[in-house]
Amino acid sequence: MTSEELNIEFEAAVERVNAHTEPFPADFLLRLYAYYKKATNNYSRPSSKKPIINAFKTNALFQVQNISEDQAKQEYINLVNNYFLYRK
């Protein structure tokens, strides 16, 4: 897959998540958050008003620190595709 194709699929996955109206499981959201931040090279600090949520987000970011932006995009795409494939 070319970099351009990966970007197109990544953006489509992001749009799919943003268009979804039902709540996602918390662990799924944390993985999406971490992969998205890594994929978009966004290293800003978590900004929730609740410290515990910031701690969970920070932990999720630590877990993806050693993968590339392209790997993060692919993992985000895989996560979204699997969620919508297997949800009931």
**What pLDDT digit, counting tens, does each position of 59-86 carry?**
999 999 999 999 999 999 999 999 999 8
pLDDT, greater one: 1 or 7: 7
The pLDDT of residue 88: 56
Q: How far apart are CA 29 and CA 57, in angstroms?
A: 10
Interval 43-61 mean pLDDT: 86
Structure tokens at 24: 């996602």
Domain count of the fold of the chain:
1
pTM: 0.90
Long-range contacts of 8-15 (CB under 8 A, 24+ apart): 9/73, 9/77, 10/39, 10/73, 10/76, 10/77, 13/76, 13/77, 13/80, 13/81, 14/76
The parent domain of residue 7 ranges over: 3-86
Please determine, for residue 14, whether its predicted confidence score (pLDDT) is greater than 70.
yes
CATH classification of the domain holding 72: 1.20.80.10
pLDDT confidence bin for 21, thresholds 50/70/90: very high
